[in-house]
Structure 1
Amino acid sequence: MDFSIKSADSKNSLATIKTDCILVGVYEDKKLTSEAAELDNQGIISNALKNGDIDGKPGSSLLLREPATTGSRRILLVGLGKKPEISEKDFRQSIDAAIKSLSQTTVAHLLIALPLNNVSGRDVSWSIYSVLSAFHALLYRSDALKSQKGPSSKIQKVAFCIPSSEVTNAKKALAQAKAITDGMSLTQDLGNLPANICTPTYLAKQARNLARKYKFDIEVLDKKQIEALKMGSFLSVAKGSDEPPKFIVLKHMNGKSKEAPVVLVGKGITFDSGGISLKPGASMDEMKFDMCGAASVLGIFKAIGELNLKQNIIGIIPACENMPSGRANKPGDIVTSMSGQTIEILNTDAEGRLILCDALTYAEKFHPETVIDIATLTGSCIVALGHYNSGLFTRLDEAHDKLANDLIAAAKSSNDPVWRMPIEDAYQEQLKSNFADMANIGGQPAGCVTAACFLERFTKKYTWAHLDIAGTAWKSGTAKGATGRPVPLLCTWLINREK
C-alpha cells in the first residue's frame, strides 16, 4: 500500500480533488469538521446528520456514494465523538471503523481529510502514525505458507490532506510511521513461521539480508566461536538440539565515532520444548513464538535502516532451540556463564535467561550507553499483566528512572504499552543455590521479577532495561499470530533520542 502527503491550499480544494473516496469526520453534536463543511455545498453531509443517518459517535460511519458536488466518487463520514478535542481512544476507534467500512468496497484510492491536529495532547505526527498502525493491524495477513491466499485489501493508495504549513513535518512523520509498520511486518512474518523453517540458521540469513540491504556490519558466530568466548550458559541450552546455534551481531554505526551505542538484545529460542522439563503438549506449537524477541530486534533494524538514524545501535541475538535429548541440560546441572558466574539449572524450561545472560555479558565489550533486552521470558508476566502491558524492569536509581520514563513515554505515544515492575535485592534471595552462585529459577512467587533479577546480575556495568513480552508478542486462539510488539515502542524510543 502506498502512502503519501497531499498539500491542502487555496489552489487545491477538497471539492476539486479527484479520488475514489474522501474520508472526513463529524462530531456527536451534529457539527461538521472544517473539512466536512468544505464538502457540504448542497447539504449532503449536514442532511445526513439531521436525518440521523450517522450520529457522530466514535466508530460510527456512513458512506455517501456519487456526491454531485465533489471530484470524489464517494465520501466516507466517520464519527469523532465530542468537540472540541478528540480523545486518543475515539480517534483510533474512528479510524478502525473507517478501514473496516472501506474493506467492503472497491475503493482503491483514499484521501484522508480529518482534523489530525485536533487529538487531545497529540500532534499530526501521532495521528499519522495511528492511521498507519490501524491499516497495518487490520490488513496484515499471515497466509504466506497457504496454497490459497485470503482476500487482500483493494485499497492501493492512501493520501493525507495536510495544510501546506505542516507538509514537511507530515512527510517526516509518514516516513517514520511507514518504517515502524514495515519493521512490525518483518517481526510478525518471522514469528509466524514454523520452527522447521525459522531455525537459528534462518534467523542468521535474515540478518545477513538486512545487513546487505542497509549496509549494516554483521557477525554471525558459530558453535566453535561461541565456545571460544566461553559462553557456557548459552551453549548448555543449544546442546540439546541438532540445530546449530548462532550468535548474531548487527551494527548500525551511524552516530558520532566516539558515541556509546545502544545495544538491543533479543531472545532467539526458535523452538522451546522446555527441554527435559518438558512443557505440556497443549499449545506447545506456540513455542515457535519464543524467538519473538529476536524477531523484534530484526524488525527494529529494518526500521533503523529505512530511517538511517544518526545513532550507533547494535543488535545481539543468541539463537538456538531448547530440545530434550541425551545431550540436553538436566535439572541439577551446573554451568559456567561467560561472566564466570556459575548457575544451577533447576528447571530446563527457564532457558531464556540462560542464553540472555551470556549475550548481556558480551554486550559489555561495546561500552554501551544503554542495553535493552527483549524476551518472551516468563508465563508469570502474563499472570501479572495479562496481554495488554509488556513488563518493564529496571534498577531503581536516577539513570534507570530516566530510561524507564523515556520508555514509558514512547510506549504511550506508540500505543505499545508497558508497566514498570520492581527489581529489588529482597527478590534476589529466591535465587540462592547451595551448589552454585545462583539458581536459574526462584520458585513460583514473583516469577517474572526473579527472572529479571537473574538477568540483572549480568548488567552491572551499564544502564539496562528488560522487556518481558511473553504476554504481548503473540495472540492465541482464532487470532493466533505474532503481534510485532515491541517494535513500535523501541522504534519510537530510538526516534525520540534524535529530537
Structure 2
Amino acid sequence: MEYRLITRLAEQPQPAHLISWPGSPLLAEVDCPALAAMVDRAAAGDIADTQFACAPFARITLIPVAAWQDALTDTLLGHLRPLFAAPASPQVLLDCTRLENASVLAKTLRFLFNLDHQLSDLGLKSQTAPTTRVTQLTGYCQPRALAELTETFRLQHAIAHGMLAARRLADIPSEQCTPQFVVEEAQRLCASWPQLRCEVLDERAIGEQGLGLLHAVGKGASRPPRLLAIHYDGRQDGPVRSYVGKGITFDTGGLWLKEGAGMYTMKYDMCGAANVLGLMLSIARLALPVRVMGVLALAENAIGPEAMQPGSVARACNGMTVEINNTDAEGRLVLADAIAWAAKRHPQTRFIIDLATLTGAVVKALGYELSGLMTQNEALRASLTAAGIASGDEVWSLPLDKRLKKQTDSAIADLCNTPGNNAAISASAAWLLHHFCPAEIPWAHLDVSGTALWREHGRSVASGRPIPLLMQHLLDDIVQ
C-alpha cells in the first residue's frame, strides 16, 4: 500500500473514503448536503457514515472525538474494522488532525497498512468474488504537523511491512508451511536486502552442534527440523541484539496428543518464528545502524515411531539435560536450544529476547490484549514495558524467581519441561528457559499466545504482534 501526506484538501485523491471527526477543520472545505446531520450524530457519540450524496468523496465516515483518543480499548479500531470489511474505494483519506495520541495513531496506521493481506490472497479458494482493495492511504494534517507525521507514517509503514510478511507466512496451512518451507521463504524474502544473510542448520548440523532438544521435538516428523539464523549487519562492529522465535510449524502435542478442538489452530504455533522474520525485514527496510540476529527454531511436533516419549531425556547444546515429561510442552524445548545456540554464536550479545505462542495459561491470566513478559533483568523489563506503552503493543510482567525452582526439578535430569503440579505454567516455562541464557546476557521471554492471533467472528488469523513492540524497543535502545 502506498501512502502520502497532504495539508490541503485540493491535493486529495478522488474519489476517496474520508475518515474524519466532527469539528474537523477539514469539513469546512466539504460540500455535502448530509454533512450537518452527520456532524450532529457524531458529536452526540455515534458513528456517522454515508456513501450517498457525498461527492467528491466515495464515502464519508465521522467518528466521535473520544474514539480518536482512546489508547486503552482501541475504540477507533473497533469502528474502522467493519468499515473495511467491504471498502468503498481503493483510496482512503485519513484526517489526522485529531490523532494526537501517538499510540492511537500508530495502531491506526498499522491497521490500515495491514489491509494489504487477506486470507483470500493465499489462493486456496477456487472462486473468489472481486473486491475493492485499499491501495493508497493519504493522511491529511496541518502544516505544522507535517514533518512529525511524515516520520510516523514512514516508521509504521516499515513495521507493517514486517507484520505483513509474518502474517502471510503464519496463515499458510501447515502441510505446505514446513520447517524447510519457512527456511526457503525466509531466504527468498531476505534476498531483497543486501544487509540480511541466512545461516541454516539442517537435521545433520543440528545433531553435530548438539541441539538435542530441537532434535527431540522434530525427530517424530517426516519433515525434519531446521534452525535458521538471519543476520543483519547495519554496521560492521558493536554488540549484537538477538531475537529467538518458536517455530513449531504444526503441534499435535506429540504422544501427549491434543484433542481436536485444541489442535485446530496449531498451524499458528510458529508465529514466534514468523514474527522474528518479519522483525528482521522491518529492520532492513529502515536501514537501522545496528547488528541484529534473528533465530528461528523450526520443527513439527508430530506422532510416529520416532516421536519423543514422555520420560525421555534430551541434552541441549549448552550441555544441560531435560526430562521430557510432557511432549506437548515442546515449544520451550526448541526455544531453550535456540537461546543457548544464540548465546554461543554471539557471546557479546547485548540482549536476547525470545517470543513464542508458548502457553494457554498466559491467555487465562492476561487475555488477548497483553503479551506476557518474564525476565530477571529489571532494565530490560522496564524498557520493554515502556516500549509496549509507546507502541500500543503492550506487555504485562509475570514473576520469575527461585520460588519457581521446584516446578522444573527432575529426579533424573537437570530439569523437567513441565511442573508436575500443573501450577504457574507460564512462569515455570520461563524459569526453564532462563537456564539456557548465560547470566551475563540480559534475557527476556515474551509469551504471545494471546496476542499473536487476531480473533473475530469465531476465526483466528495471524496478527503480526509483537513486531511493533520489538521495533519500538529496538529504536529506544539504539538512542540510549
Fold conserved (TM > 0.5)? Answer: yes
Q: Distance in 2 between matches of 1:73 and 1:326?
A: 63
Q: Distance in 2 between matches of 1:278 and 1:470?
A: 19
Q: Distance in 2 between matches of 1:21 and 1:90?
A: 29
2:240–2:293 contact (8 Å) kept in structure 1: yes
Q: Which has the larger radius of gyration?
A: 1
1:343–1:436 contact (8 Å) kept in structure 2: yes
One of 187, 190, 202 as aligned partner of 1:222: 202
Q: Distance in 1 between matches of 2:379 and 2:129?
A: 45
Note the 1:1-80 alignment, pairs <5 A.
Answer: 1-6=1-6, 8=7, 13-14=8-9, 17=12, 19-21=14-16, 23=18, 25-27=20-22, 32-39=23-30, 45-46=35-36, 48-49=38-39, 52=40, 54-57=41-44, 60-63=47-50, 65-66=52-53, 72-73=56-57, 76-80=60-64
Aligned-residue identity in percent: 30
Partner of 2:137, secondary structure, is: strand
* Cα offset, 1:62, TM superposition: 3.2
Do residues 316 (structure 1) and 295 (structure 2) align? yes
Per the alignment, residue 114 of structure 1 pairs with: 96
Note the 1:368-383 alignment, pairs <5 A.
Answer: 368-383=349-364
Partner of 1:334, secondary structure, is: strand
* Cα offset, 1:24, TM superposition: 5.7
Q: Any unmatched runs of 5+ in structure 2?
A: none
Residue by residue over 1:144-167, the C-alpha shift from the partner in whole angstroms, topping out at 9 and shown as x without a partner, is 122223553343322112333433
* Cα offset, 1:455, TM superposition: 0.1
Per the alignment, residue 447 of structure 1 pairs with: 425
Amino acid at match of 2:50: L
Per the alignment, residue 233 of structure 1 pairs with: 213
2:68–2:98 contact (8 Å) kept in structure 1: no
Q: Distance in 1 between matches of 2:76 and 2:331?
A: 40
Note the 1:453-468 alignment, pairs <5 A.
Answer: 453-459=431-437, 460-468=439-447
* Cα offset, 1:127, TM superposition: 5.2
1:103–1:153 contact (8 Å) kept in structure 2: no
* Cα offset, 1:22, TM superposition: 6.3
Amino acid at match of 1:55: A
Residue by residue over 1:101-157, the C-alpha shift from the partner in whole angstroms, topping out at 9 and shown as x without a partner, is 47656433332233145x3xx34xx55433322325667411212222355334332
Q: Distance in 2 between matches of 1:431 and 1:127?
A: 41
Do residues 175 (structure 1) and 154 (structure 2) align? yes
* Cα offset, 1:283, TM superposition: 3.6
1:95–1:131 contact (8 Å) kept in structure 2: yes
Q: Distance in 1 between matches of 2:84 and 2:356?
A: 36
Do residues 385 (structure 1) and 401 (structure 2) align? no
Q: Distance in 1 between matches of 2:394 and 2:96?
A: 25
- Cα distance change on mapping 1:150 and 1:390 into 2, 3 Å: farther
1:92–1:134 contact (8 Å) kept in structure 2: no
Note the 1:292-311 alignment, pairs <5 A.
Answer: 292-311=271-290
1:109–1:158 contact (8 Å) kept in structure 2: yes
Per the alignment, residue 433 of structure 1 pairs with: 410
Q: Distance in 1 between matches of 2:146 and 2:448?
A: 36
1:4–1:159 contact (8 Å) kept in structure 2: yes
2:163–2:467 contact (8 Å) kept in structure 1: yes
One of 358, 375, 380 as aligned partner of 1:403: 380
Per the alignment, residue 81 of structure 1 pairs with: 65
1:2–1:156 contact (8 Å) kept in structure 2: yes
* Cα offset, 1:61, TM superposition: 1.9
- Cα distance change on mapping 1:323 and 1:78 into 2, 3 Å: same
Say which is worse superposed, 162-171 or 179-188, in terms of deviation.
162-171
Residue by residue over 1:36-58, the C-alpha shift from the partner in whole angstroms, topping out at 9 and shown as x without a partner, is 23447x99744654xx4x23255
Q: Distance in 2 between matches of 1:457 and 1:465?
A: 12
- Cα distance change on mapping 1:102 and 1:439 into 2, 3 Å: closer
- Cα distance change on mapping 1:346 and 1:492 into 2, 3 Å: same
Per the alignment, residue 130 of structure 1 pairs with: 107
* Cα offset, 1:447, TM superposition: 0.7
Partner of 2:42, secondary structure, is: coil
Partner of 1:181, secondary structure, is: helix
* Cα offset, 1:281, TM superposition: 2.3
* Cα offset, 1:208, TM superposition: 0.8
One of 385, 389, 394 as aligned partner of 2:375: 394
Q: Distance in 1 between matches of 2:52 and 2:44?
A: 21
Residue by residue over 1:16-44, the C-alpha shift from the partner in whole angstroms, topping out at 9 and shown as x without a partner, is 756224636444xxxx222223447x997
- Cα distance change on mapping 1:46 and 1:90 into 2, 3 Å: farther
Partner of 2:265, secondary structure, is: helix
1:249–1:315 contact (8 Å) kept in structure 2: yes
Q: Distance in 1 between matches of 2:319 and 2:94?
A: 58
Q: Distance in 2 between matches of 1:337 and 1:405?
A: 30
Amino acid at match of 1:107: S
- Cα distance change on mapping 1:284 and 1:99 into 2, 3 Å: closer
Alpha-carbon RMSD across the aligned residues, in angstroms, is: 2.7
Per the alignment, residue 149 of structure 1 pairs with: 128
Size of the alignment, in residue pairs? 471
* Cα offset, 1:406, TM superposition: 1.8
One of 233, 256, 267 as aligned partner of 1:277: 256
Q: Distance in 1 between matches of 2:447 and 2:43?
A: 39
Partner of 1:328, secondary structure, is: coil
Q: Distance in 2 between matches of 1:428 and 1:90?
A: 35
Amino acid at match of 2:15: D
- Cα distance change on mapping 1:289 and 1:55 into 2, 3 Å: closer
Q: Distance in 2 between matches of 1:418 and 1:259?
A: 28
